[in-house]
Chain A
Amino acid sequence: MDKETLTADLKRKIISALNLPEVSPSDIADDTELFGESGLGLDSVDALELVVMVEREYGVVISESSDAKKIFASVGTLADYLISNRK
C-alpha cells in the first residue's frame, strides 16, 4: 500500500474507530494535528483507541508514549511510521 492509499485508509478508519460522524476524510489534511488545540482536538481516550486500531488493523504495536507523540502528530506521520514498521 503506498502512502497516499494508506493515509486515505487511515482517515476512514480513524473516523470509524473514534466514532466521529461529524468529521469526513476530506476534513483531515495529512498534516492536521490529531491532538492539541489546533487540530482535531482528540483526547487521551482517543489516543488509546487509536493505538488499539493500529494494532488490530495494521499489526503494529506502539508502546512508548514518548514515541507516540511523534507518531501520532498527524495522519501523515502515522502513515510514515506504519510504512516503516509494518510486518
Chain B
Amino acid sequence: MHFRARRQDGLEEALDKARWTGKSYGGYWGNWCFLQLLKLGALPAYGLLLFVAAYFVVFRRKACEGGVKFLSKVEGRKIGAISLETYRLAFSFGVCLLDRAMAFSGSKKIKIDDECEKTIKPILESGRGAVVVTAHVGGWEMAGAELLKYGRRVFMPGTDGEDPRIRKLSESARKTKKISVNVSGGALSNIEAYSVLKGGGIVAMHADRYAGGRFARVKFLGEEVAAPTAAYWLAKAAGVPVVQTVCFRGKLFHYSARAFPPMDANLKTPNECASEFMSNLESAIKAHKYQWFNFYDFWK
C-alpha cells in the first residue's frame, strides 16, 4: 500500500532544479596553495586570487554560469560570461573564502560586527529557542560560528558533498570552534532539531537553496523559485521565532552581520515566511550583488 500522501504538486520539478553538488571549486592542490600563501599573509593570497578569478571567468565558464544569470537578473540587463561584473563576483567569492580560512585559522585580522546579537540574545534570554535562517551570501559561515557565543546548543542540519581530501585539508587548518553539521537528513531529521528548540537552543539553517521536502513557490528577482519551508514548519511546531540574518563583507577584513525583525511562524503560514525571507534577501543582495554565492541556476 502506498499513498504518497505528501507528494506536493511540482515536487519532481523542484527537486530537478536542486542541482548543486556542494563541492568546492579549485580542487585539492588549489586549496592547498591558497592555505600555504595565507601563512605568509592575506595579500599574497589575494594576489594569486586576482589571476585565479580571471582563469575561472575565461576557462571555467560553466562554473560561473549561475553567477552570470544572477548578475543579469539583479542588473536588469544581459551580463557577458567574460565581463568585469563576472570577474568581480568570482574574485569576491574567493576573497570571502580566503577570509573565512583566515578567521577559522584563528587570525584576529577578520572582524565581524555582529548586530544579530541584539535580536537573538533577548529571545534566548526569555527562555525560548530560535530558528536562525540565512543564505549563501557574504561571510555566512563566519556569522554562523558567532552563534556559539550564546552558550546554547546549536543544531545545524545540512548536506556534505565536499571532497573528503579538501574537507580534511580545511579541518587541519582550523583552530577555532566549529558547529558540527548534522548530515543525517531523512524524514526524521527534524525531530532532533525540534528537541533542541524546545530546550532553548538554536537551529541554524540555510533557507535559500531548495534541497527536497516541502517548498513554497515565491518570487525572487522577478521570477519564481522553489524556497524551502522546513525552517518555518519547525519554528511553528516548537513555538519559537525565526530570525533571518545576513553577513556581508564591507571594508577590507571587515564583515557586518545583521538580523531582520523576527518572524512569528505562528502568525504566518510557512509560505508567507518563505516569501518574506526571499523578499528580505532580494533587498539585501541588491545592495551587495557581488556577494551572492549560489553558483548554479537558481531559476532554471
What is the interface of chain A, defined by CB distance below 8 A to chain B? Answer: 18, 20, 22-23, 27, 29, 32, 35-49, 51-52, 62-65, 68-69, 72
Contacts and interface: CB of A to CB of B under 8 A. Distances in A.
Given A44-B230, A52-B237, A38 B2 contact: yes
B267 interface: no
Interface hub of B2, B4, B214, B229 (most chain A Cβ within 10 A): B2
A37 B184 CA distance: 18
A33 B4 CA distance: 11
A27 B213 CA distance: 24
10 contacts: A22-B5, A32-B1, A36-B187, A42-B187, A43-B187, A44-B189, A45-B233, A46-B5, A48-B190, A63-B194
A62 B237 CA distance: 14
A69 B186 CA distance: 10
Given A51-B194, A63-B192, A63-B195, A44 B187 contact: yes
B6 A46 contact: yes
B192 A22 contact: no
Contacts of A51: 191, 194, 237
B190 A44 contact: yes
Interface string B226-270: 000110011001000000000000000000000000000000000
Contacts of B40: none
Contacts of A41: 2-7
B234 A42 contact: no
Nearest to A69: B188
A27 B194 contact: no
Contacts of A44: 186-190, 213, 230
A68 B193 CA distance: 13
Contacts of B192: 63-65
A62 B6 contact: no
Closest 10 CB pairs of A and B: A63-B195, A41-B4, A35-B187, A43-B6, A65-B192, A45-B233, A65-B191, A48-B190, A68-B188, A68-B191
A65 B7 CA distance: 23
A41 B11 CA distance: 14
A65 B189 CA distance: 6
Q: Chain B: interface residue count, which band?
A: 20 to 34
B197 to A, nearest CB: 10
Contact of A39 (B2, B194, B237): B2
A38 B4 CA distance: 9
A1 to B, nearest CB: 24
Contacts of A18: 5
A40 B191 contact: no
B187 A27 contact: no
Contact of B188 (A22, A27, A35, A39): A35
Contacts of B234: 48
Contacts of B189: 44, 65
Interface in B129-147: none
Given A23-B5, A65-B184, A45 B191 contact: no
A51 B236 CA distance: 13
Given A47-B190, A48-B237, A40 B3 contact: yes
B144 to A, nearest CB: 21
Interface string B2-30: 11111100000000000000000000000
Contacts of A29: 1
Contacts of B1: 27, 29, 32, 39
A10 to B, nearest CB: 16
Contacts of B7: 41
Contacts of A42: 5-6, 187
